[in-house]
Structure 1
Amino acid sequence: MTPDTVAHRNRELIVHGLAEFARGNIGVLRELLHEDFVEHSPGNPSGRDAFLAFIATAPVARARLDIKRVIADDDYAVAHYHMIDASDGRGSAVIDVWRLVDGRITEHWDVVQPVPEPASTPHGMF
């Protein structure tokens, strides 16, 4: 993947966006999300403005995000990370999938799994 490929640009866009979001810059999502953004996670609203209002009060906005890997191609980017909030020391394993069009996120899916006791996962979650 060279710097001039769409896949590379998509990966860099997601890495930058996650890093900014993890620093508390929720406003970065206004730049990244298409105004007609479609959210596939149950209970989360679609539309950029509705999603921004929702995510600002969601637990992820106050959590530490430890990014483990980001994989991208010309249409999608996938991130696997450890989300840890103050109320749960083990946190959750998260996989986000984003569809991108012309450098904007147009759709989002995710899978969130609580991290169990270490004895339950001898090979680790990450």
Structure 2
Amino acid sequence: MSENSKAARNRRLAVHGFTEFAAGNVDVLRTLLHEDFIEHSPGNPSGREAFIAFMAGAPVARARLDLKRVIADDDYAVMHYHMTTDDDPRGVAVVDIWRFVDGQITEHWDVVQPVPEAEQVPRGMF
């Protein structure tokens, strides 16, 4: 992937947004999300302002996020990370799929899976 490709640019935007959000900067979403942002996860609202308000109160906004890998291809950036809290140190494995158009996120999908006991996954979740 060339450093100037659309995939490389979207990867940089996704990693920047993730890093800022993980540090507690929910407002970074105002520049990343398109006004007509579409959310595909059940129970999460679409629309930039509704989604930001939802995320500000969601457990992910107070969790520790450990990015494991990023895959980018044309309009999409995929992020795989470990989300933990003090109440749930094993946490969950998350895969986010972000669709970018002209440097803004227009759509989002995710898959969230609880991290089981280590002996249940001898090769690890990550």
In the superposition, the TM-score normalised over structure 2's length comes to 0.99
**Cα-to-partner distance string for 1:93-117 (whole Å, 9 max, x where unaligned):** 0000011100100000000001000
Provide the alpha-carbon RMSD of the alignment: 0.5
What SS is found at the alignment partner of 1:82? strand
Quote the Cα distance in structure 2 between the aligned partners of 1:87 and 1:38: 30
What SS is found at the alignment partner of 1:89? coil
Quote the Cα distance in structure 2 between the aligned partners of 1:86 and 1:28: 24
What SS is found at the alignment partner of 2:74? coil
Q: 1:18-37 to 2 correspondence within 5 Å? A: 18-37=18-37
Which residue of 2 is the match for residue 104 of structure 1?
104
What SS is found at the alignment partner of 1:56? helix
In the superposition, the TM-score normalised over structure 1's length comes to 0.99
Quote the Cα distance in structure 2 between the aligned partners of 1:44 and 1:86: 24
Which residue of 1 is the match for residue 69 of structure 2?
69
In the alignment, structure 1 segments of 5+ residues that lack a partner are none
AA at the equivalent of 1:2: S
Q: 1:51-70 to 2 correspondence within 5 Å? A: 51-70=51-70
Quote the Cα distance in structure 2 between the aligned partners of 1:116 and 1:6: 36
Quote the Cα distance in structure 2 between the aligned partners of 1:79 and 1:37: 18
Q: Return the offset for 1:33.
A: 0.2
Which residue of 1 is the match for residue 39 of structure 2?
39
Q: Return the offset for 1:66.
A: 0.3
Q: Return the offset for 1:28.
A: 0.3
| Identical positions, percent | 71
1:49 and 2:61 correspond: no
Quote the Cα distance in structure 2 between the aligned partners of 1:36 and 1:75: 17
4+ long deviations beyond 3 Å: none
